[in-house]
Structures are given as C-alpha cells and as structure tokens.
Chain A
Amino acid sequence: MKRFFDNELETFRSHLILMGETAIRQVRDALKALVDGDIALADRVIAADDELDDLEIKIDTEAIRYMNLRAPVATELRLVIVGMKASHDLERVGDETTSIAKRAVKLAAEPQLKPYVDIPRMAEIAIEMLRGALDCFINGDSDGAIAVVKRDCEVDAINKQLYRELSSYMIENPQTTSRALELMFISKSIERIADHASNIAEEMVFLNKAEDIRHREELKKSGV
C-alpha cells in the first residue's frame, strides 16, 4: 500500500545517492588536479565542497522531519538513521578532497617530487570503495558491502608504505620536506576517504540486515 508520504523517503534516498555521486566526483577531480597540476580544476573542487555541505544539511533536515512526523520503524527507521550517518561520512569525504585540492595547488607551484604512482593507485581503490558502498545502498547488497570493508586495509598498507618512502626523501634531502609533507597529508586524506567508504559500507549492512559489523577485527585484517 502506497502512503501519501512515501515520496519523502524517495527524495531522501535520491539526495543520499546524489551526495555519494558528488563525493566520488570530487575525489576523482581532486586527484586529477594533483596529477595534472591543474590549478583551475583544484579550485573547482574547493568551491564544489559547498554542494556536499548543503546536501548534508538537507539530508539531516529531511531525516529529522521524517522521524518527527512519520515515526518510522524497521527498514525505514534504519534507512533514516543510516542516511544521516552516511551523509556525515560523505561530507567528511568532501572535506578531505578540499584538503587534497589545496595541497595540489601548492604542489603545482613546485617541481614534482616523484612520479605519482602509489597515490593514484590508493585513490582508485578508495573511489572503488565509495562506488561499492553506494552500489550496496542502491542494490541492497550486504555481501558487496562487506567486501568494501575488507578492502580498507589495502589503502592502509599503501599509506604506510608511502609514509616510509616520503620519510626517506626528507632524511636524504631536507629540501624535499615541504613537498614530501604535502604528499604525506594527501596520502593520509585518501586513507581517511577509504575509512569513510568503509564506514558507509558498514552502515549499509546495518540498513540491509540490521546487523552491526563495526569494529570487527576479522574484517579489518582480511583482504590483503
């Protein structure tokens, strides 16, 4: 039976999907700006963060209104709760992409420290994780969500490897310190993006199965 307020939930879902797509585009653009040294694109990424901020507020407002007036239970309740949490994660993804874009602008003004191989690779994994988490939301696929969570350690491993490598650059040649630090922060931002993707995937398992899989060591350790 269709209810007169069912379209409110559809709108809510649509806004969450739009926010996810926007976040993925932002990550992709921020990395492209870094790799290509494209300052104009970096500026557009920084400016577009407002879109994610606005969507987060919109989703929160809709969720609070729905809980207040429609008294959701079961799947609907989980959707509203998960929507609020996921939108917060996506907003933080936006903050990380802004940080990456700002550092891309700084790095574009200096000679490239090293070929960008690992950072695009870990960014691609993070994007795949975000895409996977979003697909799980759309398709209700809990197994896919768990697979996303398991990939987080791949990104963590590359981040650690980059930390060691960039530390070596700084020790060997202090002139590289500022560029190496920028790259370290970028690496850390990507690692955080993967964490947020992992959080969203965990939330999708809760949405689909009402099962809380957060902080399970067996999921964090597997996958590498």
Chain B
Amino acid sequence: MVTSSNFQSTTAPMDSSATTTGRPAPKASAAAPAPGIGRTLIDIDHVDFYYGAKQALFDVNVKLEEKRVTAFIGPSGCGKSTLLRCLNRMNDLIDGTAIRKGSIKIRDVDIYGRDVDPIELRKRVGMVFQKSNPFPKSIYENIAYGLRIQGRNKKSDLDEVVEKSLRGAALWDEVKDRLHESGLGLSGGQQQRLCIARTIAVSPEVILMDEPCSALDPIATAKVEELIHELKKEFTIIIVTHSMQQAARCSDKTAFFYMGQLIEYDDTKKIFMNPSNPQTEAYVSGRFG
C-alpha cells in the first residue's frame, strides 16, 4: 500500500506546511484515502517556477487525477517538461531552480517540504525519458538494480519482480530467454520498454513520461501506447508529448501550456473536440504561430 508519507524521511519530523492548511498531517497508510480512479493525487497549487532569474512557470494551478493518464501538450519552451520535472524534483539537480510561489502536493504532502527525501520521492514518482537509457548491464540487472539499492538481494524475490516488471512492460515474451544479455543490445522500442519495466519495478505511484516515443518508430510507439493503456490500471501517468494524436489516443485528461502558463486543462475528448480556449484550438489544429 502506498502511503501519503512514504517519500518522507522517516527520521525527520513532518513538514510543517502539511499542517498549516488545518488538515492533520497524514500518518499512515490506514489514514490515507483509498486509492481511487479520478481522485486528486497531485495538487499543483499556483506554482511559479524559476531557472535563476528566468521565470518558466506562471501561476500553474491544476489537480491531477489518480490512475489516469494526463497529457501535457504545448509548443517547445512552454514549460510542460519543466512542470513534469517538478513533480519528482528532478529540477533540484539544476542550480538556481526554485519554486518561488505555490506548492506541489502528492496525497496532501508538500513534496518540497523540508522533511521530504528527493530520493524517496523519486521511488514513488518514477520517470521515463525521451531517449531510452538502460544501464550498461544485463536486462535482468537493469530491473533488479533499483531493488538491490533498496537492500533487496534475495534471488527469488528479484526473479519475481523482474518477471512481473517485464510482463508489466509487455517485454517478457521478447526477452525471457536472454535475461542475462546486455540491455543495450535491445532495439530502441525494447530499450524504452525496459526503462518502463525498470521504473515500475520499484512500485511507484506515479510514472512521468517525457516524450517517451519521440525516438521510436510507429510499431514501437504503438507498443508503448498500448502499455500506457495497461499501466494506468495501476499507476498514475503523466506524459509530455508533441504528438497530438498520441495525446488524443493515450490520455484521459490533457493540459495545454503556452509560455509557461497553463492555458486549458480538461478531459482529452473535450480538448480535441471542443476546446474552450481559442489558443488551445489553434494549437491542437496545427494553426499555432
């Protein structure tokens, strides 16, 4: 059971910001709301984000739903990847970045709170990148790696997770007879699914995907999209994509960004059938510019 506080340091006190709203701080899994499709999981509350002096996100305010696929769309430089990377604090790795206003909460816990361990957070909020990046290790070890650094080395345990993860990533049948060959020997599409398998091996709650199919051919893309459709039964997925068709095919909700602002967020069918904002309509119709 994923808890509301399990990306927090176990030794540090609860972040005071989690209690300033008047709500009691979540304590244990039993106190957390039962996972439910469509329930707010990630609350991005009026966020301003800066790269040094340059503001990249302006008052972004949106609630992302549990076990749904949310697509972030928008032209290059609109802030969609920046926001995605805020969700597991990947931006912490860049000097001078900061959320100067607002907060991001996952299950009511401020993920930028002082007691939140970013490493723990990234276990809960996994990420798949544009370019597949398997470790220069065997297929098996690529999956097992995340478990080993958690101290889980029991072979039967690892075997089970490796198989489950590869099955979950729709890769098992293709690699089950060569688990100890290098992950780098797989095709581009297989490598990307290996990275997805590696991500789900540590049982995250959220999977962030930053243009996961942009380097893949249509067949590999179709397999990843099929996989996304399956994965949303267990995970909350947020995908950044430049492909309008991919956003339309894969996502339940779509957020359109432009120049650092969230222009429109709604059901994907609404965004692609009857968007409320003319800028959204212009973008999804390819008339932007």
Q: Does B194 contact A (CB under 8 A)?
A: no
Within 8 A of B (CB), among A56-102: 71-78
Closest residue to A210 on the B side, CB-wise? B274
Rounded to whole angstroms, the CA-CA distance of A2 and B281 in the bound complex is 14
Rounded to whole angstroms, the CA-CA distance of A209 and B245 in the bound complex is 22
B256 to chain A, nearest CB (A): 12
| B284 pairs with A73, CB closer than 8 A | yes
| B289 pairs with A73, CB closer than 8 A | no
| B272 pairs with A73, CB closer than 8 A | yes
With a 10 A CB-CB cut-off, give which of A3, A73, A75, A209 has the most chain B CB atoms: A73
| A74 pairs with B272, CB closer than 8 A | yes
Q: Does A117 contact B (CB under 8 A)?
A: no
| A73 pairs with B248, CB closer than 8 A | yes
Rounded to whole angstroms, the CA-CA distance of A2 and B286 in the bound complex is 9
Q: Mark B262-282, 1 if CB is under 8 A from A, else 0.
A: 000000000011110000011
Closest residue to B286 on the A side, CB-wise? A3
Rounded to whole angstroms, the CA-CA distance of A217 and B101 in the bound complex is 51
| A209 pairs with B285, CB closer than 8 A | no
Rounded to whole angstroms, the CA-CA distance of A35 and B185 in the bound complex is 83
With a cutoff of 8 Å between Cβ atoms, the chain A residues found around residue B289 in the complex are 1
| B288 pairs with A77, CB closer than 8 A | no
Query: Given A209-B274, A210-B273, A210-B274, are A75 and B286 also a contact pair (CB < 8 Å)?
Result: no
B136 to chain A, nearest CB (A): 39
Closest residue to B282 on the A side, CB-wise? A1
Which single member of B245, B287, B288 contacts A71 (CB below 8 Å)?
A: B245
State the interface size on chain A (CB cutoff 8 A). Answer: 13
Q: Mark B240-273, 1 if CB is under 8 A from A, else 0.
A: 0000110010000000000000000000000011
Rounded to whole angstroms, the CA-CA distance of A1 and B279 in the bound complex is 12
B30 to chain A, nearest CB (A): 44
Rounded to whole angstroms, the CA-CA distance of A164 and B88 in the bound complex is 75
| A1 pairs with B274, CB closer than 8 A | no
Rounded to whole angstroms, the CA-CA distance of A5 and B35 in the bound complex is 47
A66 to chain B, nearest CB (A): 12
Rounded to whole angstroms, the CA-CA distance of A77 and B150 in the bound complex is 50
Rounded to whole angstroms, the CA-CA distance of A1 and B282 in the bound complex is 9
With a cutoff of 8 Å between Cβ atoms, the chain B residues found around residue A2 in the complex are 287
Rounded to whole angstroms, the CA-CA distance of A2 and B289 in the bound complex is 9
B258 to chain A, nearest CB (A): 14
A67 to chain B, nearest CB (A): 12
With a cutoff of 8 Å between Cβ atoms, the chain B residues found around residue A209 in the complex are 274
| A74 pairs with B286, CB closer than 8 A | no
With a cutoff of 8 Å between Cβ atoms, the chain A residues found around residue B285 in the complex are 72-76
B125 to chain A, nearest CB (A): 30
B248 to chain A, nearest CB (A): 7
Which single member of A1, A71, A73 contacts B273 (CB below 8 Å)?
A: A73
Closest residue to A71 on the B side, CB-wise? B245
| B245 pairs with A1, CB closer than 8 A | no
Rounded to whole angstroms, the CA-CA distance of A102 and B102 in the bound complex is 74
A213 to chain B, nearest CB (A): 14
Rounded to whole angstroms, the CA-CA distance of A210 and B272 in the bound complex is 11
Rounded to whole angstroms, the CA-CA distance of A60 and B274 in the bound complex is 23
A68 to chain B, nearest CB (A): 13
With a cutoff of 8 Å between Cβ atoms, the chain B residues found around residue A3 in the complex are 286-287
B229 to chain A, nearest CB (A): 20
Give residues in A with beta carbon < 8 Å to B: 1-3, 71-78, 209-210
Q: A1-B287, A73-B248 are in contact. List 18 more A-B contacts (CB 8 A).
A: A1-B288, A2-B287, A71-B244, A71-B245, A72-B285, A73-B244, A73-B272, A73-B273, A73-B284, A74-B273, A74-B281, A74-B285, A75-B285, A77-B272, A77-B273, A78-B273, A78-B274, A210-B274
A-B contact pairs, 9 of them (CB 8 A): A1-B282, A1-B287, A73-B284, A73-B285, A74-B274, A74-B281, A76-B285, A77-B272, A209-B274
Give residues in B with beta carbon < 8 Å to A: 244-245, 248, 272-275, 281-282, 284-289
